[in-house]
Amino acid sequence: MDAREFREIFQDRTETAGFEGMRGVMEIIEDVRQNKDAALRSYTEKFDGRTLDAFKVSREKLKDSYDALSEDKRWALEKIRERIEDYQRTIRYEDRDDGEFKYVYHPLEKVGVYVPGGTALYPSSVLMTVIPAMVAGVGEIHVVTPTFKDNNITFAALHICGVENVYTVGGAQAIAALAFGTESIPKVDKIVGPGNYYVALAKRLLFGEVGIDMIAGPSEILIYVDEDVNVDAVVYDIFAQSEHDKNARTFLLSEDQGIIDRIENRIRDLIDRQPRAEIIKQSIDDNHYAVVDSRQSLLALVNHIAPEHVSVQHKDADMIIRNIKYAGAVFEGYYSPEAIGDYAAGPSHVLPTDRTGRFSHGLNVNDFLTSHAVISLTEDTFGDIAESAMTVAEQEQLDAHYQSLKIRTE
């Protein structure tokens, strides 16, 4: 298909996306607000099949999980932790003094982090969410996760990060617990981290009651290629995104129909060999798009979609990237596949999806800071601008404002 045909299909898909399950999530939120731990126990038993006396994971269990890891797994987690920390330190906002104005940054006091669990373990999500909060200097980090297995790598990653407040509760009920507080889990100032559809709905509904990083949907990647690209590498880049979720979206763009055909044929050759073939097939069948058009049209399409991930594997990558305005993260070249960004590149893999990259950005250290200006004007500066302010105050008929300014000019 060309860009025009894609826009028609894509617009229809985005406009028909609804909020199924909203009422049920609202009921869960209200139940947790009123009944606190009792509601959490009920939902943990209902959805996870677990009966828990206490939600908090002991420090001993976190350390035991770390101790149970093989040396190579410890090394991998420590190396990634160090790389992410180094990156986040380089972009952290610092206080600035410009004479009459000061910009002051303070870390948040309490942050809640959601780490997915259940059917799979995600130590990478621990590192990508907790480390930026640590670098910011957040006072308390509280982690919720539907992870119950003893001696698991998620708990080990939490131990490496020095997190002590970990609770085995997940789903919309965990988000509600962080937003309102319960007997076991304190109310936090902001909630971050990826989760399933119901977690995303809970975050949407609770925005304002508590700070929210973003409302993330299924993962997505846009790959822009030329005729000389490594076909198998691109196919596995597509599979890597598709294996996340049956709703994961993949976009393949090129100015050359021949390379699109080669890649699409190779997808069919390799798809049945994948361990997560069933998920990949459904993702490819329902949410994979191949578009061939002019460069101008394709660049406009990239910015229209504002994808979570953009991979540019093209001889003119520099030029193409200079024209990308909206994306969660951009990966340039053969040795920067999106998969390295999921684990070890440095920037967080918590990124905006579903076109929200047009007005938001990926999670980073500065999302855990608040800022305010300190205004300290001299008499000369006040005298220079007071008359203009008084004129506007008169027009707005706010006399006390006018008098507050005028008295300082006399």
Active site residues: 308-309
What span, in angstroms and rounded, lies between the C-alpha atoms of 222 and 355?
12
Sequential DSSP letters for 45-97 = HHHH----S--BPPHHHHHHHHHTS-HHHHHHHHHHHHHHHHHHHHH----EE
What span, in angstroms and rounded, lies between the C-alpha atoms of 172 and 25?
6
Tokens representing 40? 């959490």
Contact 28, 172 (CB under 8 A): yes
What span, in angstroms and rounded, lies between the C-alpha atoms of 75 and 10?
43
Sign of CA dihedral 234, 219, 342, 272: negative
What span, in angstroms and rounded, lies between the C-alpha atoms of 111 and 114?
10
Beta pairing class for 309-313 and 96-97: unpaired
Contact 167, 184 (CB under 8 A): yes
What span, in angstroms and rounded, lies between the C-alpha atoms of 285 and 288?
6
| SS3 of residue 156 by DSSP | helix
